[in-house]
Structure 1
Amino acid sequence: MKKYKGILLMIFDLLLVNLNFIFAVYLRFDFKVEFDLIQQPTVLLFLVITVVYFFAFLIGKTNRSVWDRIGVDEGLRIFVANFAATVILLTLKYLNLIPKLPGSIIVLLFFINTLFQEITRFSYRMFRTITLRRSKIKREGSKRVLIYGAGNAGVLIANEITNSPDYNLYVIGFIDDNPYLKGKFLGGTLSMVRMQCLIKSSISIRLMKL
């Protein structure tokens, strides 16, 4: 199933590239250009761009890990893959293999596609995290968890519990002795501070597990 998800994501990314290419063309010419998708040169441009981005995404492995979570590493992979595709297209332009494609459109496509890919990944992750948390709250036997320590290890534990459907737990907050963390959001969960807060809060939220 995971393999098919990767294929679907690759198809989605390539469709996004083509849509962003059209948008880049219109943006370059202030939305006053007549874009005929049936003309042979235009079809060849779409084909070249699709093939170049396909291999860039394939080598950059941009179709992985979005289903679970997104991090800095995936964001960098998206940036590098788009940059590599841009360099290849500019090289083809320099070699006069795609003379009808302006270099400004290639650069515009790089910025637009990188932005929209990052947005779609982040939006999916946020949607998945919110729906998963809500399902855990409503799940029978689900237990509330407070994590002691709001450092890096605590945030990693919170993210693992929040992003995994295997745990019948959901994080409601952190306990930490750092007063600057009070009221902050760490890993998407409200941070609490000091033992007094734990005692008062545990009564109001009916804490079931630490």
Structure 2
Amino acid sequence: MRKEDYPFFSLEQLIDRLGEPDAKGIAEKDAQRIGDFFRAELAGVYMQLKADVFRTGYREDCGPVVRAYLKNIGFLITDVRKLLAGSLDDRLLSDICRGILMGLEALFTEVSEKFMSVGPEGGRQDGRSAGVPVKVLCNLSVDQIALLLKAADDIKLVSARSFSQVLQSVVPYLSTERMPDFSWKSARSSTYKMEAHDLDVAMDILESMLKKVRSYR
């Protein structure tokens, strides 16, 4: 496959290369070069998307073109999240993966908002139709997130058939510093035995939120 035919060709090659065993131990100068290369390729993908959309003349439905781009960006996001989860013991490689992930997620959001906001009949469309949730980074551990969600479920702050359904609905849209991806089952299992430290952190968070809410008066 040629890059001319597939705008994600070089990005896929880069991510595949970072997933190889010898990618660990990257030198500082190589990290800078990889970052520069990624940013240039990402900008190229965005320019190619605009060219492809422009070729429709904006008179036809450009949705299929945009959804194809979003789908491929989504595949790359998934691959990089897996890479990041497996590279936490290598600072430089982990930083590279985080930078790539942030760039891809920013592009996904930009394309979703700019090109999928209005359909051919003027109706709103959702970029998430590409099938990849845009995650929110939560500055807590998985155990602490699960603890707070369980408390919300127990006091009926949220309504669902079960606590498992709450987790299944929320977890796909969350990530943590150490866990770009985690399953709802792992979150649920962490609530079976709650650690004192996690309880303390959760209470501190709730107290901070309470103070903030009071400040809105």
TM-score, normalised to structure 2's length? 0.28
Which structure: greater strand fraction? Answer: 1
For the pair shown, which has the larger CA radius of gyration, 1 or 2?
A: 1
TM-score, normalised to structure 1's length? 0.29
